[in-house]
Amino acid sequence: MKRFMTLLLLFVLLLTWIPRSVHAAVNVGRTPVIFVPGIAGTELYNDNELVWLNTWRLVGSQIPILNLFQMSWLLPLRLAADGTAPYYSSSRIRTGDIMRRSLTNIYGELLAALKQDGYVEGQDLYLFPYDWRMDLTLTADRLGAEVDRVLARTRTDKVVLLSHSMGGLIARDYVVRGGAAKVEATISMATPWLGAPMAYRALAYGWDMGLKLPGTKWSALAPRDVKLLAQNYPSVYALAPSRQYFDLYPGGYLTRGGRALGYAGSVSKGLAPHNSALAGRGASYYDRLLDGSSHGVRQFVIAGRGRQTLVGITERRDWLGATHKTERMADGDEVVPALSADLGYGQDPARAERYLGDLEAVAYANEPHIFFTGAPAVQTTVRQWLRGLND
């Protein structure tokens, strides 16, 4: 009897252990996909209160008398000058879901399109929400941990990293710093491979991030609010135009007193006055990413074009000392200049591959940056590429 009870106890313990080890894994018939959203593409909560993006509080944020009350709900998102600690000790920011609901349904349609092809969240489709304010390399480390978790769960050897905007830089960062062996392919959509002048504009003048009140052309987000928040965000400095941006846009992105400042001058005189430490850290970011190698990963790029996009700013001071700006526009997706999104591939494929290495395919779409992944043409291209990877 004693022996029987011992065997029974061992059997019960075995049943308890199996679900955590064997049954926790899922068998998938294709390479799992991890989706990496772009900047501002993940919900952020302060404890249990949704801060980014609480659409109800957006209404009226452009009206000065109302904005006295509106701004307070965004303040928990401020960071201290080190770009890591919260500005207010009371802030306890945590990540939520990617943006896919209500007025901020940025990614819902893309996920629905993938599910039409049989992808299932938690089986062969995984999401990577993250705190998009923070240092991109630290976020890439977190992505690495997520890749390992997905590989263990799916019993596969590699993943596909599907990304939008800044998410493409994070995926590339992970690949370059040792993750290539675990990545079958990267598919990037509207990624600012060489940076975007809109980052400087957000720091110096603010930006409404392209969010409009429903059915109107009115900004839903006050640019001055974004300006205040952006000052200590490492991600914003990392998105500023790179050294390589000046290869394709020789005039650079910042002109003062009739003189183009060049790359070093744009960093020291344009970015550094806002936060010198973060400006210096962001300056070398692209040098590491654009190393001219694919690292054995199949690379697919969708770039935006056909829309007027900020490529540079000319600033001058009047006799009273007030600053006036003129924005220089060229082709792009309203946020990322076309030559940054495709690395000049449309003009010279070989030049583009000197930055990223072999590119398996480059496609184009005439779509606005913020809702780029919601476009049927973009979704069709992504689905075709994923099918090809699994054939």
pLDDT tens for residues 57-109? 765 554 555 555 555 789 999 999 999 999 999 999 999 999 998 777 899 99
pLDDT tens for residues 271-285? 999 999 999 887 789
Cα gap 306→127, rounded to integer Å: 30
CB contact at 8 A, 96 and 129: yes
Cα gap 235→132, rounded to integer Å: 7
Q: What local confidence, expressed as pLDDT, does residue 213 receive?
A: 67
Which residues of the chain, if any, have pLDDT below 50?
A: 4-23, 62
Alpha carbon dihedral 73, 76, 81, 83, in 10-degree steps, equals -120
Cα gap 191→180, rounded to integer Å: 19
Q: Which residue type sits at 109?
A: E
Residue from 378, 380, 386 nearest 189 by CA: 378
Mean pLDDT, the chain, whole residue set: 90
What superfamily in CATH does domain 30-390 come from? Alpha/Beta hydrolase fold, catalytic domain (3.40.50.1820)
Distances (CA, A) of 110 to 35, 230, 359, 365: 10, 28, 23, 15
Q: What local confidence, expressed as pLDDT, does residue 257 receive?
A: 86
Instruction: Domain ranges for the chain, please list them.
Output: 30-390
Sign (positive or negative) of CA dihedral 379, 381, 384, 386: negative
Q: What local confidence, expressed as pLDDT, does residue 22 receive?
A: 40
pLDDT tens for residues 254-273? 999 899 999 999 999 999 99
Cα gap 96→107, rounded to integer Å: 14
Q: What local confidence, expressed as pLDDT, does residue 247 receive?
A: 95
From start to end of the chain, where are the E strands?
A: 33-36, 42-46, 49-52, 93-98, 125-127, 159-164, 183-189, 254-256, 259-260, 298-304, 307-317, 323-332, 361-365
CB contact at 8 A, 128 and 34: yes
Cα gap 142→147, rounded to integer Å: 9
CB contact at 8 A, 166 and 38: yes
**161: which strand partners?**
34, 186
